[in-house]
């Protein structure tokens, strides 16, 4: 099994390019954001708790997200691997993911990083708020908090995965969606 992590700040294009990567390499795309939005839409207790945290620009507790991901690993069949999007978001989650995979006799295959500037993050998040009707993406204070949280909690994962020899970076700041997709697919192809 392959276990890829799609990494980058909010608005980097993880969701935009995940489908193409997953389709080309027969991977199951697991978006923690989509898993959580499904819980919110279903009105579950987890969904209500998650919505309050997300609306404030905060993160959902690790144990909840990890449980959803481990369940996906257990139940999804007929794929050559998984493409994790939005997980891990911090060093504790990365260590927990290593433990989850170790129990299976597996390990993270590679981290595919899409990197963009803070200015591009703001532009893209505001754009998707309009396109997708995501109110949590429209508020400047929430966006600023997301950027701050990314730099403080998620960005240190770069060094964690670089030290493991599993970190591969792609510039997602330039050109069209198609240009960026071609760069991302070429990067994945180079680490197959």
Out of 28, 122, 134, 162, the active site residue is: 134
Residue pair 106/28 in contact (Cβ under 8 Å)? The answer is no
* 14 is annotated as an active-site residue: yes
Residue 187 vs residues 12, 167, 184: alpha-carbon distances, Å: 15, 11, 5
- The question of whether 103 is a catalytic residue gets the answer no
Q: Which residues does residue 81 pair with via DSSP β-bridges, in sequence order?
A: 2, 27
Catalytic entry in 2, 124, 146, 166: 146
**Considering 14, 51, 166, 181, which one is annotated as catalytic?**
14
Rounded to whole angstroms, the Cα distance separating 68 from 183 reads 30
**Ramachandran angles phi, psi of 8, nearest 5°:** 155, 170
Residues 7 and 14: their CA atoms lie apart, in Å, by 7
* Residue 128 appears among annotated catalytic residues: yes
Residue pair 112/70 in contact (Cβ under 8 Å)? The answer is no
Catalytic residue chosen out of the listed positions 89, 124, 166, 181: 89
Q: Which backbone phi and psi does 3 adopt, to 5 degrees? A: -130, 100
Q: Is 77 a catalytic residue?
A: no
Tell me if residue 183 is catalytic.
Answer: no
Cis ω before 101 (30° cut-off from 0): no
Active site residues: 14, 89, 128, 134, 146
């Amino acid at each position: 099994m392959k276990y890829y992590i799609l990494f980058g700040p909010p608005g980097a294009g993880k969701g935009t390019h995940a489908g193409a990567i997953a389709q080309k390499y027969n991977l199951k795309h697991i978006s923690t954001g989509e898993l959580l939005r499904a819980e919110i839409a279903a009105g579950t207790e987890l969904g209500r708790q998650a919505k309050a945290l997300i609306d404030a620009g905060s993160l959902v507790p690790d144990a909840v997200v990890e449980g959803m991901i481990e369940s996906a690993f257990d139940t999804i069949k007929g794929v050559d691997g998984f493409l994790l999007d939005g997980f891990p978001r911090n060093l504790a989650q990365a260590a927990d993911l290593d433990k989850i995979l170790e129990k299976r006799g597996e390990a993270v295959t590679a981290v595919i990083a899409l990197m963009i500037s803070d200015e591009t993050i703001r532009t893209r998040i505001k754009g998707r708020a309009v396109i997708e009707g995501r109110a949590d993406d429209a508020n400047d204070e929430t966006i600023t908090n997301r950027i701050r949280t990314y730099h403080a909690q998620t960005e240190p994962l770069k060094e964690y995965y670089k030290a493991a020899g599993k970190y591969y970076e792609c510039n997602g700041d330039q050109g069209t969606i198609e240009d960026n997709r071609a760069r991302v697919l070429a990067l994945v192809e180079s680490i197959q």
